[in-house]
Amino acid sequence: MHQPNQHMQDLCKNHMHSYVLLEISDGSVIDGIITDVDDTHVHVAVPYDLGTENDERFTPYGYGFPQGPRPPYGYGPYPYPYPGPGRFRRLVLPLAALTALSVLPWY
């Protein structure tokens, strides 16, 4: 049986682990890397914008650390070695909301 979102699901599966631009039915666009696709959703790794000063995760002591000096590795609430919160956040979108997919270059 043909699913209503089969074309978009196939398109997302064909571009797994690719950097893409997804257009949503409300007109917004999201860029990220497709990490998983199931029957109803697409999972996208969306990059954080690390260069903005308005980002509450960016501190004068480095990305992801609370105010104050960095804790030594292996001590405090951070496991050794502390990798930070990552450069990407996970976003799960319904396939029914996607209207277009474009492959973007990595550079």
Domains along the chain with CATH numbers: 1-48+89-107 (2.30.30.100), 55-86 (no CATH)
Average pLDDT of the residues in 14-41: 94
- The larger pLDDT score, comparing residue 12 to residue 86, is at 12
First to last CA, the chain: 40
Which runs of consecutive H residues, i.e. helices, occur in 1-107? 6-14
Structure tokens belonging to residue 29: 């666009």
- The larger pLDDT score, comparing residue 4 to residue 39, is at 39
Q: Are 37 and 43 in contact (CB under 8 A)?
A: yes
Average pLDDT of the residues in 16-34: 94
Q: What is the pLDDT of residue 59?
A: 43
| pLDDT tens figures, 28-75 | 999 999 999 999 999 999 987 655 544 444 444 444 444 455 555 544
Whole-number percent of the chain with pLDDT over 90: 50
- The larger pLDDT score, comparing residue 6 to residue 79, is at 6
